Amino acid sequence: MDAPVWTHQLSKRFGSLRAVDGVDLSVRSGEIYGLLGPNGSGKTTLIRLLVGLLRSTSGHAMVLGHAMPTKAVLAQVGYMTQASALYDDLTVRENVAFFAAMCGAVDRTRVEEAIALVEMDDRARSLVRTLSGGMKQRTSLACALVHRPRLLLLDEPTVGIDPQLRAVFWSYFRRLADSGVTLVISSHVMDEAERCDRLGLLRQGRLLAEGSADELRARVGASTLEEAFLYYTEL
Amino acid sequence: MNIRRVSALAQRVMRQILRDVRTVTLLIVAPMLLLSLGAVLFRSDPPRLSLGIVNEDAGVPLPSVGTLVLGDRIVRRLADSDAFDLVSLQPEEIDARLRDGTVEGVLILAADLSATFQRERQVTLDLRLEGSNPTRSTTVTARVTEAAMKALAGLAATSPDLPVAAGDAAELPVAVETSYLYAGDEFDGLDFVAPVYIAFLALFFVFLLTCVSFIRERSQGTFERLLATPATRLEIVLGYMVGLGLFALLQVAVILLFTVWVIQISYLGHLGLLFLIVALLAVVGVNLGILASAFARTEFQVVQFIPLLIIPQALLGDVFWAIEDLPAHLQPLARIMPITYANRALRAVMLKGWGLAEIWHDLAVLAGIAVLLLALGALTMRREV
């Protein structure tokens, strides 16, 4: 059970809505795990359960060996959403340094490294307010990984950014995975799913299938991931 | 101008407001709440106050009544008027009784009161007041004057040989000379209001600043991100308290120095002590803001807290009425209001010149409220954004 993320029958209800419904997840160390599903399939709720922003209705979630929610483990977890969630009236560097401090990373060089990784060095002293959407998203990513987390939980990190930057983001993700970081990335875009090592297909809060894109296609004899997804949906 | 567009806009606005149940409720409930509060306060019977009497009037012989002792007549009127609990005092215990608060004022009827009246056709009453609460001072003075006039009017009706017209009460020759235990003649109306004014400003602006910063944290999504770090809720709340608290202190310093140097308010006690009181209240304001913003999602909902949390404090918190003078069912409410304790301490220091030894318990209560609000703020902080 040394999986960075492991859940057993994890469920979350909002009133009568089963947002996450009996999910068994097992993410391997150093892989990019994609949570694939349409809007409203429970991706965000699942990730919020993993990061401890929500408390599960039933079931268990283990993150880096700790039952969630556990505050201490968050020092080794990076979290990012599609909304850039930055302080508009602070500079790029101040934002990154703040979240570094929140996660207990006091080393200034880490801040510079994170800013360099997302190629924001030349705008490090700009106020976030003055940045474009894509730059904000890069800064947001820098905030999520400045404390060198072992696990990154990214909720639709590439929504609303242009294809070019999306490619750049995925090259960052791959580089991080190669250095041993585990990434859980949610998306509803099929071509992004191809870049993940393994995928979990989510629909109406249930995990329909799990495996690499090739496995998922081969298992049902589908030629595209989309086809495979539809097949699993109808099961 | 297109009427359809205007009407579509109007409908949209109405629909949005109606969806916000809280706003609609507040729109209806808040005015009723504040109106009833005002009604209860302004209609409540003025309280009975304790009045000390030093009656040394020796009297003067007068054919129509035998011996006229005007002092006795005034005291009898005062007793009849039911406005005071009268306490007979010796001259040497006047200030001590005023200081320990067992009497609100002392009416001194001099030995030559009746004689002077016969000679100069003028009654001059010597009234010594505690002086730190202008509302009470005014009440005592008015009631004493009224009793003296009634005494004279009654006398005029029965004694035709007195130089007093029985007609219009306002023309009766009664003068009340007031002196104060605390706060001398150099104090004007503003000096009495200044303590509560300062306290209210400190509380109000810091409260708003805190609420708005917290709401912004929520609306820009950074609050969720903050909760996804190892930072605990207590740490977040403390961080806010310290960060905003420093600005609150700056504001307090500006308010105090401005009132003292530019407005030139008269005050007695130590300026450092004033700073301590207002600073403590400002910290309470920060913590109250943190707590309140847990129950608000937008800046507008924060503004809605003003009629619920701030205005009642302005009405009840020892601002216009002393707690003991409030209707009984409102007193517990006033006692949980932080501004009550700040006002009391500020008045004590500014008008009476009291020191830390006399007001430490008010400061302790303020500090206690600050800690309590902080704990509640940390507990009620919503995880779900």
Closest chain A residue by Cα to residue B233? A71
Stretch B193-208: mean pLDDT, rounded? 83
Structure tokens at B376: 């509640």
Q: What is the pLDDT along chain A (235 residues), one digit of tens a residue?
A: 478 888 888 888 888 888 888 888 888 888 999 888 888 888 888 898 888 888 888 888 888 888 888 888 888 899 998 888 888 888 898 899 888 888 877 778 888 888 988 888 899 888 888 998 888 988 998 999 888 889 999 988 888 778 888 888 888 889 889 988 999 999 887 778 888 888 888 888 888 888 888 887 888 777 788 788 878 777 6
Given an 8 Å threshold on Cβ–Cβ distance, is B230 in contact with A75?
Answer: yes
Q: Are B98 and B130 in contact (CB under 8 A)?
A: yes
Minimal CA separation from A54 to chain B, in Å: 7
Pairing mode, if any, of strands A151-155 and A182-187?
A: parallel
Please state, in angstroms and rounded to a whole number, the distance separating the CA atoms of residues B11 and B97: 66
Protein fold of A5-234? Rossmann fold (3.40.50)
Given an 8 Å threshold on Cβ–Cβ distance, is B230 in contact with A86?
Answer: no
Residue pLDDT, tens place only, B250-269: 888 888 888 888 878 777 88
Please state, in angstroms and rounded to a whole number, the distance separating the CA atoms of residues B259 and B277: 15
Name, in order, each residue with C-beta under 8 angstroms of B176's C-beta and a sequence gap of 6 or more. B124, B125, B127, B141, B144, B145, B148
Residue pLDDT, tens place only, B130-153: 877 777 788 888 888 888 888 777
As a whole number, the mean pLDDT across chain B is 80
Name, in order, each residue with C-beta under 8 angstroms of B224's C-beta and a sequence gap of 6 or more. A53, A81, A85, B385
Q: Chain B residues with CB inside 8 Å of A143's CB?
A: 225
**CB-based contact, B231 to chain A, within 8 Å:** yes
Stretch B106-122: mean pLDDT, rounded? 80
B225 closest CB neighbour out of A55, A71, A85:
A85
CA angle at A48 for the pair A47 and A54, rounded to the nearest 5°: 145
A85 closest CB neighbour out of B222, B383, B384:
B222
Stretch B194-220: mean pLDDT, rounded? 84
Q: Are B41 and B323 in contact (CB under 8 A)?
A: no
Percentage of chain B modeled with pLDDT above 70: 92
Q: What is the pLDDT of residue B187?
A: 67
Q: What is the pLDDT of residue B382?
A: 63
Task: For residue A127, give the DSSP letter.
Answer: B
Helix (H) or strand (E) run with residue B6 in it: helix B3-19
Please state, in angstroms and rounded to a whole number, the distance separating the CA atoms of residues B255 and B4: 51
Please state, in angstroms and rounded to a whole number, the distance separating the CA atoms of residues B350 and B271: 9
Q: What is the pLDDT of residue B384?
A: 47
Q: Chain B residues with CB inside 8 Å of A75's CB?
A: 229-230
Residue pLDDT, tens place only, B237-250: 888 888 888 888 88
At residue B320, the 3 state secondary structure works out as coil
Q: Measured in Å, how far apart are chain A's first and last C-alpha atoms?
A: 29
Please state, in angstroms and rounded to a whole number, the distance separating the CA atoms of residues A102 and B341: 37
Q: Chain A residues with CB inside 8 Å of B218's CB?
A: none
- On the question of pLDDT at B121 being above 80, the answer is no
What pTM was computed for the model?
0.74
Given an 8 Å threshold on Cβ–Cβ distance, is A79 in contact with B225?
Answer: yes
Closest chain A residue by Cα to residue B235? A102
The more confidently predicted of residues B121 and B366 is B366
Please state, in angstroms and rounded to a whole number, the distance separating the CA atoms of residues B82 and B86: 10
Tell whether ipTM is more than 0.95.
no
Stretch B301-305: mean pLDDT, rounded? 83
**CB-based contact, B232 to chain A, within 8 Å:** yes
Task: For residue A154, give the DSSP letter.
Answer: E
- Number of helices (H), then strands (E), in chain B: 16, 7
Within 10 angstroms of residue B361's Cβ, the number of other Cβ atoms is 11
Given an 8 Å threshold on Cβ–Cβ distance, is A53 in contact with B221?
Answer: no
Q: Name the strands in the sheet holding A206-211, side by side, starting at the edge strand that comes first in the sequence.
A: A77-80, A151-155, A182-187, A32-36, A198-203, A206-211
CA angle at B27 for the pair B21 and B30, rounded to the nearest 5°: 115
Please state, in angstroms and rounded to a whole number, the distance separating the CA atoms of residues A63 and A133: 31
Comma-separated ranges of CATH 3.40.1710.10 domains in chain B: 49-180
Question: What would the CATH number be for the domain defined by B49-180?
Answer: 3.40.1710.10
In chain A, domain spans: 5-234
Selection from B138, B54, B133 nearest residue B97 by Cα? B54
A99 closest CB neighbour out of B220, B221, B229:
B229
- Number of helices (H), then strands (E), in chain A: 8, 10
Please state, in angstroms and rounded to a whole number, the distance separating the CA atoms of residues B299 and A90: 21
Residue pLDDT, tens place only, B351-381: 888 888 888 999 999 999 989 998 888 888 7
Please state, in angstroms and rounded to a whole number, the distance separating the CA atoms of residues A103 and A100: 5
Helix (H) or strand (E) run with residue B107 in it: strand B105-109
Helix (H) or strand (E) run with residue A18 in it: strand A17-27
Structure tokens at A179: 């250095």
CA A45, A49, A55, A57 dihedral sign is positive
